[in-house]
Homo-oligomer: A and B are copies of this chain.
Protein backbone atom coordinates (compact mmCIF):
# COMPACT_ATOMS: atom_id res chain seq x y z
CA UNK A 1 0.00 0.00 0.00
CA UNK A 2 1.58 3.26 -1.09
CA UNK A 3 1.91 5.80 1.66
CA UNK A 4 0.07 9.02 1.18
CA UNK A 5 2.08 12.17 1.00
CA UNK A 6 1.09 14.74 3.59
CA UNK A 7 1.91 18.38 4.06
CA UNK A 8 4.26 17.33 6.82
CA UNK A 9 6.39 15.40 4.41
CA UNK A 10 6.54 18.24 1.99
CA UNK A 11 7.64 20.39 4.90
CA UNK A 12 10.26 17.95 6.03
CA UNK A 13 11.68 17.67 2.53
CA UNK A 14 12.22 21.42 2.56
CA UNK A 15 13.22 21.75 6.18
CA UNK A 16 10.35 24.10 6.99
CA UNK A 17 7.18 23.87 9.06
CA UNK A 18 3.89 22.44 7.86
CA UNK A 19 2.28 25.75 8.55
CA UNK A 20 4.36 27.46 5.92
CA UNK A 21 3.48 24.69 3.50
CA UNK A 22 -0.19 25.15 4.27
CA UNK A 23 0.10 28.89 3.77
CA UNK A 24 1.94 28.52 0.50
CA UNK A 25 -0.52 26.01 -0.87
CA UNK A 26 -3.51 28.10 0.05
CA UNK A 27 -2.18 31.34 -1.39
CA UNK A 28 -2.10 33.05 1.93
CA UNK A 29 -0.25 36.33 2.35
CA UNK A 30 3.02 36.62 4.24
CA UNK A 31 4.82 33.87 2.44
CA UNK A 32 8.10 34.52 0.69
CA UNK A 33 7.55 34.10 -3.07
CA UNK A 34 10.66 31.94 -3.28
CA UNK A 35 9.39 29.71 -0.49
CA UNK A 36 6.00 29.40 -2.12
CA UNK A 37 7.63 28.44 -5.38
CA UNK A 38 9.71 25.75 -3.72
CA UNK A 39 6.69 24.39 -1.86
CA UNK A 40 4.69 24.17 -5.05
CA UNK A 41 7.48 22.37 -6.84
CA UNK A 42 8.10 19.93 -4.04
CA UNK A 43 4.40 19.20 -3.60
CA UNK A 44 4.18 18.48 -7.30
CA UNK A 45 7.28 16.33 -7.25
CA UNK A 46 6.23 14.24 -4.28
CA UNK A 47 2.72 13.79 -5.68
CA UNK A 48 1.04 15.63 -2.87
CA UNK A 49 -2.73 15.84 -2.79
CA UNK A 50 -4.25 17.93 -0.02
CA UNK A 51 -6.51 16.01 2.31
CA UNK A 52 -9.85 17.79 2.18
CA UNK A 53 -11.21 15.52 4.86
CA UNK A 54 -8.74 16.88 7.36
CA UNK A 55 -9.28 20.36 6.06
CA UNK A 56 -13.04 20.02 6.35
CA UNK A 57 -12.74 18.80 9.91
CA UNK A 58 -10.94 21.87 11.09
CA UNK A 59 -12.72 24.41 8.89
CA UNK A 60 -16.14 22.90 9.47
CA UNK A 61 -16.89 23.32 5.81
CA UNK A 62 -16.91 20.62 3.16
CA UNK A 63 -17.86 22.54 0.02
CA UNK A 64 -20.26 19.76 -0.67
CA UNK A 65 -23.97 19.83 -1.30
CA UNK A 66 -26.20 16.85 -0.72
CA UNK A 67 -28.86 16.19 -3.34
CA UNK A 68 -31.78 13.90 -2.66
CA UNK A 69 -33.62 12.72 -5.74
CA UNK A 70 -36.77 10.62 -5.46
CA UNK A 71 -36.54 9.03 -8.87
CA UNK A 72 -33.81 8.87 -11.47
CA UNK A 73 -35.51 6.98 -14.25
CA UNK A 74 -37.83 9.83 -14.93
CA UNK A 75 -36.29 12.30 -17.36
CA UNK A 76 -37.23 15.32 -15.25
CA UNK A 77 -34.74 14.74 -12.47
CA UNK A 78 -31.60 14.09 -14.50
CA UNK A 79 -32.30 17.41 -16.12
CA UNK A 80 -32.63 19.08 -12.73
CA UNK A 81 -29.35 17.53 -11.66
CA UNK A 82 -27.71 18.90 -14.76
CA UNK A 83 -28.80 22.39 -13.76
CA UNK A 84 -27.62 21.85 -10.20
CA UNK A 85 -24.28 20.55 -11.39
CA UNK A 86 -23.64 23.49 -13.63
CA UNK A 87 -24.05 26.13 -10.98
CA UNK A 88 -22.45 24.21 -8.15
CA UNK A 89 -19.40 23.58 -10.29
CA UNK A 90 -19.03 27.26 -10.99
CA UNK A 91 -19.24 28.02 -7.30
CA UNK A 92 -16.78 25.34 -6.26
CA UNK A 93 -19.13 22.89 -4.65
CA UNK A 94 -19.29 19.18 -5.20
CA UNK A 95 -22.43 17.10 -5.17
CA UNK A 96 -23.25 13.99 -3.24
CA UNK A 97 -26.17 12.36 -4.95
CA UNK A 98 -28.68 10.26 -3.06
CA UNK A 99 -31.69 8.42 -4.31
CA UNK A 100 -34.73 7.92 -2.13
CA UNK A 101 -36.60 5.74 -4.62
CA UNK A 102 -39.83 7.43 -3.49
CA UNK A 103 -39.44 5.86 -0.06
CA UNK A 104 -39.78 8.00 3.02
CA UNK A 105 -37.56 5.68 5.01
CA UNK A 106 -34.78 5.75 2.47
CA UNK A 107 -35.11 9.48 2.21
CA UNK A 108 -34.69 9.91 5.94
CA UNK A 109 -31.67 7.67 6.00
CA UNK A 110 -30.17 9.48 3.02
CA UNK A 111 -30.56 12.81 4.79
CA UNK A 112 -28.98 11.45 7.95
CA UNK A 113 -26.01 10.17 6.01
CA UNK A 114 -25.59 13.46 4.22
CA UNK A 115 -25.72 15.38 7.46
CA UNK A 116 -23.18 13.02 8.96
CA UNK A 117 -20.99 13.64 5.96
CA UNK A 118 -21.24 17.28 6.95
CA UNK A 119 -22.63 18.63 3.73
CA UNK A 120 -22.92 22.40 3.71
CA UNK A 121 -26.49 22.27 2.52
CA UNK A 122 -29.21 20.04 1.14
CA UNK A 123 -31.36 20.01 -1.96
CA UNK A 124 -34.37 17.80 -1.47
CA UNK A 125 -37.32 16.70 -3.52
CA UNK A 126 -39.49 14.79 -1.11
CA UNK A 127 -40.54 11.21 -1.71
CA UNK A 128 -44.22 10.73 -2.32
CA UNK A 129 -44.84 8.87 0.90
CA UNK A 130 -43.29 11.41 3.24
CA UNK A 131 -45.54 12.94 5.86
CA UNK A 132 -43.23 13.38 8.83
CA UNK A 133 -41.27 16.58 8.57
CA UNK A 134 -39.32 16.43 11.82
CA UNK A 135 -36.12 15.32 10.12
CA UNK A 136 -36.15 18.45 7.99
CA UNK A 137 -36.62 20.63 11.01
CA UNK A 138 -33.95 18.81 12.93
CA UNK A 139 -31.48 19.38 10.12
CA UNK A 140 -32.36 23.03 9.78
CA UNK A 141 -32.07 23.57 13.51
CA UNK A 142 -28.51 22.30 13.19
CA UNK A 143 -27.88 25.21 10.88
CA UNK A 144 -27.79 23.21 7.67
CA UNK A 145 -29.84 24.99 5.04
CA UNK A 146 -32.32 23.08 2.93
CA UNK A 147 -33.82 24.13 -0.37
CA UNK A 148 -36.64 21.99 -1.64
CA UNK A 149 -37.10 21.64 -5.35
CA UNK A 150 -40.04 20.52 -7.42
CA UNK A 151 -41.82 18.92 -4.49
CA UNK A 152 -41.95 21.38 -1.69
CA UNK A 153 -42.63 21.23 1.99
CA UNK A 154 -44.32 24.41 3.07
CA UNK A 155 -44.39 26.26 6.35
CA UNK A 156 -41.20 24.98 7.83
CA UNK A 157 -39.16 27.99 6.84
CA UNK A 158 -37.25 26.41 3.99
CA UNK A 159 -36.73 27.85 0.56
CA UNK A 160 -38.37 26.17 -2.31
CA UNK A 161 -38.15 26.15 -6.08
CA UNK A 162 -41.01 24.61 -7.92
CA UNK A 163 -42.95 24.44 -11.11
CA UNK A 164 -46.18 26.39 -11.31
CA UNK A 165 -48.35 23.35 -11.81
CA UNK A 166 -51.57 25.04 -10.97
CA UNK A 167 -51.06 28.09 -13.16
CA UNK A 168 -49.79 25.99 -16.03
CA UNK A 169 -52.86 23.80 -15.81
CA UNK A 170 -55.00 26.92 -15.92
CA UNK A 171 -53.02 28.17 -18.88
CA UNK A 172 -53.44 25.08 -20.97
CA UNK A 173 -57.09 24.66 -20.04
CA UNK A 174 -57.75 28.25 -21.07
CA UNK A 175 -56.15 27.51 -24.37
CA UNK A 176 -58.75 24.81 -24.93
CA UNK A 177 -61.50 27.18 -23.85
CA UNK A 178 -60.29 29.67 -26.44
CA UNK A 179 -60.84 27.02 -29.03
CA UNK A 180 -64.49 27.26 -28.08
CA UNK A 181 -64.82 23.88 -26.39
CA UNK A 182 -67.47 24.00 -23.68
CA UNK A 183 -67.41 20.54 -22.16
CA UNK A 184 -63.87 19.80 -21.08
CA UNK A 185 -62.86 16.73 -19.11
CA UNK A 186 -59.86 16.07 -16.88
CA UNK A 187 -57.89 12.91 -16.38
CA UNK A 188 -56.29 13.61 -13.03
CA UNK A 189 -53.46 12.13 -11.00
CA UNK A 190 -53.94 10.20 -7.76
CA UNK A 191 -55.56 12.56 -5.27
CA UNK A 192 -52.91 12.18 -2.60
CA UNK A 193 -50.11 13.43 -4.80
CA UNK A 194 -49.56 17.17 -4.67
CA UNK A 195 -48.77 17.61 -8.33
CA UNK A 196 -52.01 15.95 -9.31
CA UNK A 197 -53.95 18.16 -6.92
CA UNK A 198 -52.37 21.34 -8.18
CA UNK A 199 -53.06 20.53 -11.80
CA UNK A 200 -56.65 19.64 -11.03
CA UNK A 201 -57.07 22.91 -9.14
CA UNK A 202 -55.67 24.81 -12.09
CA UNK A 203 -58.02 23.03 -14.42
CA UNK A 204 -61.02 23.87 -12.27
CA UNK A 205 -59.92 27.47 -11.86
CA UNK A 206 -59.76 27.95 -15.61
CA UNK A 207 -63.31 26.69 -16.04
CA UNK A 208 -64.57 28.92 -13.27
CA UNK A 209 -62.87 31.98 -14.67
CA UNK A 210 -64.76 31.41 -17.90
CA UNK A 211 -68.00 30.64 -16.11
CA UNK A 212 -68.13 27.09 -17.38
CA UNK A 213 -69.76 24.50 -15.14
CA UNK A 214 -67.43 22.11 -13.41
CA UNK A 215 -68.93 18.69 -13.86
CA UNK A 216 -67.56 16.11 -11.44
CA UNK A 217 -68.38 13.32 -13.85
CA UNK A 218 -65.87 14.76 -16.28
CA UNK A 219 -63.02 14.59 -13.79
CA UNK A 220 -61.64 11.08 -13.56
CA UNK A 221 -59.11 10.23 -10.92
CA UNK A 222 -56.46 8.13 -12.60
CA UNK A 223 -52.67 8.06 -12.42
CA UNK A 224 -49.50 9.14 -14.16
CA UNK A 225 -49.08 6.23 -16.51
CA UNK A 226 -50.26 5.38 -19.97
CA UNK A 227 -52.62 2.66 -18.81
CA UNK A 228 -54.22 5.05 -16.31
CA UNK A 229 -54.96 7.50 -19.09
CA UNK A 230 -56.28 4.72 -21.28
CA UNK A 231 -58.84 3.41 -18.80
CA UNK A 232 -59.85 6.88 -17.63
CA UNK A 233 -60.55 7.88 -21.22
CA UNK A 234 -62.62 4.79 -21.75
CA UNK A 235 -64.80 5.85 -18.85
CA UNK A 236 -65.24 9.27 -20.43
CA UNK A 237 -66.08 7.76 -23.81
CA UNK A 238 -68.84 5.72 -22.27
CA UNK A 239 -70.75 8.85 -21.29
CA UNK A 240 -73.90 9.69 -23.26
CA UNK A 241 -73.18 11.76 -26.41
CA UNK A 242 -74.55 14.96 -24.92
CA UNK A 243 -72.31 14.64 -21.93
CA UNK A 244 -69.08 13.36 -23.44
CA UNK A 245 -66.30 15.94 -23.24
CA UNK A 246 -65.29 17.69 -26.44
CA UNK A 247 -61.76 18.18 -25.05
CA UNK A 248 -59.62 16.62 -22.35
CA UNK A 249 -56.80 17.85 -20.14
CA UNK A 250 -54.58 14.95 -19.10
CA UNK A 251 -52.46 15.14 -15.95
CA UNK A 252 -49.34 14.39 -17.95
CA UNK A 253 -48.18 13.27 -21.38
CA UNK A 254 -48.08 9.52 -20.80
CA UNK A 255 -51.66 9.63 -19.55
CA UNK A 256 -52.53 11.63 -22.66
CA UNK A 257 -50.93 8.97 -24.86
CA UNK A 258 -53.05 6.32 -23.21
CA UNK A 259 -56.13 8.43 -23.65
CA UNK A 260 -55.34 8.96 -27.32
CA UNK A 261 -55.12 5.24 -27.82
CA UNK A 262 -58.60 4.83 -26.32
CA UNK A 263 -59.95 7.61 -28.54
CA UNK A 264 -58.57 6.02 -31.68
CA UNK A 265 -59.99 2.67 -30.65
CA UNK A 266 -63.40 4.29 -30.53
CA UNK A 267 -62.87 5.42 -34.12
CA UNK A 268 -62.83 9.06 -33.17
CA UNK A 269 -60.44 11.62 -34.56
CA UNK A 270 -58.05 13.93 -32.71
CA UNK A 271 -58.65 16.85 -32.53
CA UNK A 272 -61.74 16.90 -34.78
CA UNK A 273 -63.88 14.76 -32.46
CA UNK A 274 -61.96 15.02 -29.21
CA UNK A 275 -59.15 17.47 -28.52
CA UNK A 276 -56.58 16.54 -25.90
CA UNK A 277 -53.64 18.14 -24.17
CA UNK A 278 -50.95 16.81 -21.86
CA UNK A 279 -48.38 18.06 -19.39
CA UNK A 280 -44.57 17.76 -19.19
CA UNK A 281 -43.50 17.68 -22.85
CA UNK A 282 -42.42 14.10 -23.09
CA UNK A 283 -39.91 13.53 -25.84
CA UNK A 284 -42.52 11.51 -27.72
CA UNK A 285 -45.10 14.32 -27.67
CA UNK A 286 -44.06 15.82 -30.96
CA UNK A 287 -43.44 12.55 -32.74
CA UNK A 288 -46.80 10.91 -32.53
CA UNK A 289 -49.53 10.84 -35.20
CA UNK A 290 -51.18 13.99 -33.93
CA UNK A 291 -48.47 15.92 -32.08
CA UNK A 292 -49.52 16.70 -28.55
CA UNK A 293 -50.08 20.19 -27.20
CA UNK A 294 -48.55 20.24 -23.74
CA UNK A 295 -46.73 22.21 -21.04
CA UNK A 296 -42.95 22.23 -21.07
CA UNK A 297 -41.42 22.37 -17.61
CA UNK A 298 -38.00 23.83 -17.29
CA UNK A 299 -36.35 21.25 -15.06
CA UNK A 300 -32.90 22.58 -15.82
CA UNK A 301 -33.92 26.00 -14.59
CA UNK A 302 -35.40 24.51 -11.43
CA UNK A 303 -32.05 22.93 -10.67
CA UNK A 304 -30.11 26.11 -11.33
CA UNK A 305 -32.34 28.29 -9.23
CA UNK A 306 -32.45 25.82 -6.36
CA UNK A 307 -28.66 25.47 -5.94
CA UNK A 308 -28.14 29.15 -6.42
CA UNK A 309 -30.52 29.85 -3.60
CA UNK A 310 -28.86 27.21 -1.45
CA UNK A 311 -25.36 28.51 -2.05
CA UNK A 312 -26.49 32.04 -1.25
CA UNK A 313 -27.83 30.73 1.99
CA UNK A 314 -24.69 28.74 2.81
CA UNK A 315 -22.60 31.82 2.21
CA UNK A 316 -25.00 34.01 4.14
CA UNK A 317 -25.87 36.16 1.22
CA UNK A 318 -29.58 35.85 1.85
CA UNK A 319 -31.73 34.92 4.74
CA UNK A 320 -35.28 35.56 3.63
CA UNK A 321 -37.41 32.54 2.86
CA UNK A 322 -38.61 32.52 -0.68
CA UNK A 323 -40.79 30.40 -2.82
CA UNK A 324 -39.41 30.55 -6.33
CA UNK A 325 -41.68 29.41 -9.06
CA UNK A 326 -40.38 28.48 -12.47
CA UNK A 327 -42.97 29.08 -15.10
CA UNK A 328 -44.14 26.39 -17.46
CA UNK A 329 -44.36 27.10 -21.15
CA UNK A 330 -47.29 26.28 -23.37
CA UNK A 331 -46.15 24.17 -26.32
CA UNK A 332 -48.79 24.36 -28.97
CA UNK A 333 -48.98 21.49 -31.43
CA UNK A 334 -52.01 19.92 -33.07
CA UNK A 335 -53.88 17.78 -30.57
CA UNK A 336 -55.65 20.85 -29.18
CA UNK A 337 -57.12 21.79 -32.52
CA UNK A 338 -54.47 24.22 -33.64
CA UNK A 339 -53.13 23.60 -37.10
CA UNK A 340 -49.45 23.49 -37.55
Q: Are B116 and A49 in contact (CB under 8 A)?
A: yes
| A4, B143: Cα distance in complex, Å | 9
Chain A, residues 48-81, CB within 8 Å of chain B (1/0): the string is: 0111111011000010100000001101001001
Cβ-neighbour of A117 out of B1, B53, B116, B143 (below 8 A): B53
A78 touching B85, Cβ below 8 Å: no
Find out whether the CB atom of B64 lies under 8 angstroms from the CB atom of A72.
no
A104 to chain B, nearest CB (A): 16
Residue in B47, B82, B287 whose CB lies within 8 Å of A288: B287
Least CB distance from A282 to B in Å reads 9
A97 within 8 A of B: yes
Q: Which residues of B contact A34 (CB under 8 A)?
A: none
Do residues A95 and B94 form an inter-chain contact, with CB atoms below 8 A?
no
CA distance A2 to B94 in the complex (A): 24
Q: Is residue A317 contacting chain B, with contact meaning CB distance below 8 A?
A: no
B99 and A97 within 8 A (CB): no
With A57-B54, A72-B82, A85-B72 as known contacts, state yes or no: A47 contacts B96, CB within 8 Å. no
Partner of A115, one of B49, B82, B283: B49
- Report the minimal beta-carbon distance from A335 to chain B, rounded to whole angstroms: 15
Residues of chain B within 8 A (CB-CB) of A141 are 2, 47
Please report whether the interface of chain A is mostly helix, strand, loop or mixed according to DSSP: mixed
Interface check A98, CB cutoff 8 A: yes
Partner of A2, one of B1, B54, B115, B143: B143
Q: Which residue of B lies closest to A282 (CB)?
A: B283
Which residues of the other chain, B, contact A72 by a CB distance below 8 angstroms? 78, 81-82, 85
Would you give the shortest CB distance from A39 to chain B, in whole angstroms?
17
CA gap between A288 and B283 in the complex, in Å: 12
Alpha-carbon distance between A57 and B86 when the two chains are bound, in angstroms? 29
Q: A53 contacts which of B1, B62, B73, B97 (Cβ < 8 Å)?
A: B62
Does A138 lie at the interface of the complex (its beta carbon under 8 Å from any beta carbon of B)? yes
Q: Cβ of A284 < 8 Å from any Cβ of B?
A: yes
Q: Are A1 and B143 in touch, CB under 8 angstroms?
A: yes
A82-B89 contact given A4-B142, A47-B142, A112-B49, CB 8 Å threshold = no
Residues of A in contact with B (beta carbons under 8 Å apart): 1-2, 4, 47, 49-54, 56-57, 62, 64, 72-73, 75, 78, 81-82, 85-86, 89, 94-99, 112-113, 115-118, 138, 141-143, 283-284, 287-288
- 17 A-B pairs besides A1-B143, A94-B117 with CB distance below 8 A are A2-B142, A47-B138, A49-B116, A51-B116, A51-B118, A53-B53, A53-B118, A72-B78, A78-B78, A78-B81, A81-B97, A94-B96, A95-B98, A96-B96, A97-B97, A284-B284, A287-B288
**What are the 9 closest A-B residue pairs judged by CB atoms, nearest first?**
A78-B78, A52-B116, A72-B82, A287-B287, A53-B118, A52-B117, A97-B97, A2-B143, A85-B99
